[in-house]
Amino acid sequence: MANSITHPRPRHTWLTDVARFGLLVRDAIRPRATPFNLAATVVLSLGLVVTWIRFTRGLGATTNLSDNYPWGLWIGFDMLCGVALAAGGFVLAAAVELFHLERYRGFVRPAILTAFLGYVLAVLGLLMDLGRPWAIWHPMVFWQPHSVMFEVAWCVMLYSTVLFLECLPSVCERFRLRRTLALVRRAMLALTVVGVVLSTMHQSSLGGLFLLAPAKLHPLWYSQLIPLLFFISAVIAGLSMVILESTLSHRLFHSQVADQRPADVDRLVIGLGKAASVVLLVYCCVKTIAVMKAGTWNLLPTPYGVLFLVEVLGLGLLPCALYAHAARVGSATLTRCASVLAILGVVLNRLNISVIAFRWNEPVRYVPHWMEVVLSVALITLGLVAFRWIVNTLPVLGARPTLTPDHGEAVSSKAAPSRGAVSGNDDGHAPSKEVSTCLRSPL
Amino acid sequence: MATNRRDFLKLLGTIGAAGAVGGQAHSAPPASSARPDAWAMLSDLSLCIGCRKCEFACKQANRLPNRPMEDFEDEAVFEKTRRTDRHNLTVVNRFEAPQPGEKAVYAKIQCMHCNEPACASACPVAAIRKTRQGPVDYDPSLCIGCRYCLVACPFSMPAYTYDEPFAPAVRKCTMCFDAVSRTGGAPACAKICPVEATTFGTRHELLVLARDRIHRNPDKYVDHVYGEHEVGGTNWLYLAPKSFAELGFRTDLGDRPYPELTEGFLSAVPLVVAIWPALLLGAYALTKRHEAASRGATPPLPGAVELLGAERTPTRAIEAGPQVRTGSKGK
């Protein structure tokens, strides 16, 4: 009895309930409170606020778009850059599924996942930017095949579907859907061919949109070859993104790629860099031809000429040389540096064409509204968070399939359990220490 | 459609194979495809007195927020050159007189109603269309709001209601298409013009009228009917007492209809669809045989290739790759 007086049993009140719930929430949040997660939460919340304002007060309240600059950051960056940087999906799929460059198979799944996320984000950006996003299905019904935008609309829709289907094998493996897996595997060749065809049309038609703007786009950038240039530079962006991404994956998810030796990956990365170098050289040549055809050499010693040279020499020819040199001396680090430059080059090119060199002689220029910037950053953050979640849930990064259509449990004995653990202990494995670090890695 | 060699090369150029040799622009201006009896407007800028009554009437006709007509006499607006926007489908700008001491020149601008409109060819859902009668009309119920028409228009005339969250739309002059086709008469701006600077008629008769005015008063007009050939001809024609370039008109647009700019590219699309799969599958077959030969076996089924490939990957990579200096990346 004395005990009960000195240690009274805690009374069960709503206050203690709240406190207990608070403790539960704290325990759930604390291990995930990495700097990246905190920053992502802030950015995504801001993004939601911007979305709310966009859909209640309109484009005028959230953007600096005007009648002279009808396309801003959401089209120039989210759409054009997002789609270009997603080109790795079709490039790697073609290399492995069509051209039998089997040694690059390990890159295919992450590349296709990146491509799919890139397209999803581009479409989200488009939904923000379209004046009437609820009418986005109209091009499917009200045809106007003489419009490049019509082609863009169809290709985005079809290719997103293809990318989704190409992503399915990892989903099937994770959830042991053997029959679906067999079906998707059988369709993979056809899907890849369709994907390459759609990408060719789509990447080039994004450039083709600007064929109608000879009176508005700076002459150094306007060219009849702009669709071709968009296609080639998309291949560059795709290859460079795969290189960069493999680097990041190995830093951030190394437990999942433990069966890949860094030296092997470096060799493959250098191989991709070699290909990117060749494509960059072709790109620079076509770019030169475009300027020669237009006869706009005299515009080079102007501010826009300098910008053009920065884009073509600094972020085109330089990464080309770096890639080539890296392949000669066998330096994967150099290849990775070159990939960053090449990606920046493609981004600058898209921004130049859609925003910076568009209506270049207008006295009042477009400068993005801070809410446009916030939303673009939020979309990128969303992409990173989604990538991390999917990679931690589905077998994407490891080189080996974890399930085959016919023979049940497959090759990888090392990668599978760790994935199961990451995805929430369905398989009864406790998360290894390695995996928990991976979850909390400061991506 | 007859395709000559140059067109074909151009096509190839667009696809990519012959990018270097493709792409000569059409040199000869194409014959105007405008029907002679199409509706048209002639604005004689030598007659315009800058009263801006047309702006008032336009707002009235299009049910846009308006002000009393006296407000339009305020000359302060002329200090800046304005463009059309969501509240002003037509605007009048003032420019210096051709000779010192003469009256200033006023230029009314609005949608030019091109014979082959860039905006209509750009629109993915045919919300903008060239009517049989001549005006370029817009149907907001089809519009998705991509604003490609604003990008495409060489005259930069369409505007967008960015401030409207729930039903934003493109705004542009439609030559009062609905009103005129229902009740006849002339578009609002032509009806109200006190000096008949803007005349409504058929394109043919207005061209004759314009030529006649130039012929009778060669000193008063520059010898050019703006809109007769520009971007393939427009249904809004202009006469001016001084060069059009000095009146804010673009004179660098050429006579080629804008839709032709994307025609070559779009006609390459079916070719890509037809040729690409064949080439890709050819490459697939070739590389498969190569793979099989290098392993000294018959080509296995695709699914098996995949699995074998996955098994084989690491060793092959080590054998085949170049010498590597591993980068400075740790665990």
In a domain, A353, yes or no: yes
Q: Does residue A18 register a pLDDT over 50?
A: yes
Instruction: Give the residue-averaged pLDDT of A53-71.
Output: 95
Find how far residue A304's CA is from the centre of its chain. Answer: 29
Indicate the residue of B263, B273, B324 with minimum beta-carbon distance to A266: B324
Strands (E) across A345-397 are located at none
Residue A47 identity (one-letter amino acid): G
Q: Does residue A234 register a pLDDT over 60?
A: yes
Q: How confident is the model at residue B283 (pLDDT cuts 50, 70, 90)?
A: very high
Query: Which strands form B39-44's sheet, in the order they lie side by side?
Result: B198-202, B39-44, B236-239
Q: What is the topology classification, in CATH, of domain B33-112+174-260?
A: Alpha-Beta Plaits (3.30.70)
Boundaries of every domain in chain B:
33-112+174-260
Indicate the residue of A63, A270, A293 with minimum beta-carbon distance to B23: A293
- Best of A148, A250, A323, A371 to substitute, by most chain B Cβ atoms within 10 angstroms, is A148
pLDDT digits (tens, 9 = 90+) for B158-185: 999 999 999 999 999 999 999 999 999 9
pLDDT digits (tens, 9 = 90+) for B115-170: 999 999 999 999 999 999 999 999 999 999 999 999 999 999 999 999 999 999 99
ipTM score of complex: 0.84
In a domain, A55, yes or no: yes
Which helix or strand (DSSP H or E) is residue B107 part of? strand B105-109
Highest mean pLDDT among A94-103, A397-406, B286-295: A94-103
Q: B154 to chain A, minimum CA–CA distance in Å?
A: 6
Tell me the pTM. 0.83
Q: CB B321 to CB A271 under 8 A?
A: yes
In a domain, A236, yes or no: yes
Burial A265-297 (b: 16+ CB within 10 A, else e): bbbbbbbbbbbbbebbbbbbebbebbbebbebe
Encoded tokens for A15:
């206050």
Parent domain of A278: 40-245+263-405
CATH classification of the domain holding A400: 1.20.1630.10
The pLDDT > 70 percentage for chain B reads 79
| Contact call for residues B190 and B198 (beta carbons, < 8 A) | yes
In a domain, A234, yes or no: yes
Q: B251 to chain A, minimum CA–CA distance in Å?
A: 10
Least Cα distance to A225 among A278, A144, A276, A284 occurs for A284
In a domain, A253, yes or no: no
Number of domains forming the structure of chain A: 1
Least Cα distance to B262 among B28, B10, B18 occurs for B10
Contacts with B263 from chain A: Cβ below 8 Å: 146
Q: How confident is the model at residue B29 (pLDDT cuts 50, 70, 90)?
A: very low
CB atoms within 10 A of CB A424: 10
In a domain, A196, yes or no: yes
Burial A394-422 (b: 16+ CB within 10 A, else e): bbbbbbbbbbbbeeeebbbeebbbbbbbb
Residue whose pair of structure tokens reads 């050429």 in the numeric block: B254
In a domain, A285, yes or no: yes
